[in-house]
Amino acid sequence: MSSNLSLIVLAGVLLLLAGCDSKGNSATLNQENRMLAHGEAPHFGNCTGPDGYFPVLSYRFVSGFSVRVGRDGVVSWNGIRVDDPTFREFVRRARQNPDQTAPVVLQTSNGADCAVVTSVRRTLADSGLCSVARCVEIPWELHPITYH
């Protein structure tokens, strides 16, 4: 009987841990998701996500196509400054390549122009990448490995 109880307790602990990141921060990520919707997510630029924008939020290092929005409003793709039409084209190509599974990894600096951030997020949401879990946001401080 006690071995069955031990197994049940172990299974419960494993289920709880499955929803956590390496620091046990599932509650933090859920809170950040809610805060992102209201423009109050400090690790994700403090700008609101447009309606229908549901990225994967992560505090971990993620490999993919790096998109950064700096405090100066400059948007970069894999470290190269891009204008809006070029960004849209890169997102379109990332979405249309059937062999491509790499996510687009967005990082937004605190203090970035929220109009620029919202435009970038809207482009990602409209592309369909987020609906297949290929939009990821990570804190500005992390440095992703980029795909070219």
pLDDT at 85: 97
Paired tokens of 97: 């390549």
pLDDT at 47 exceeding the cut of 90: no
Going by pLDDT thresholds of 50, 70 and 90, the confidence category of residue 49 is confident
pLDDT at 46: 66
132 assigned to some structural domain: yes
Q: Which domain holds residue 98?
A: 23-137
17 assigned to some structural domain: no
Domain count, the chain: 1
pTM of the entire predicted model: 0.70
pLDDT at 79 exceeding the cut of 90: yes
Going by pLDDT thresholds of 50, 70 and 90, the confidence category of residue 73 is very high
2 assigned to some structural domain: no
Torsion angle of the four alpha carbons 56, 62, 68, 71, in this order, in degrees rounded to the nearest 10: 80
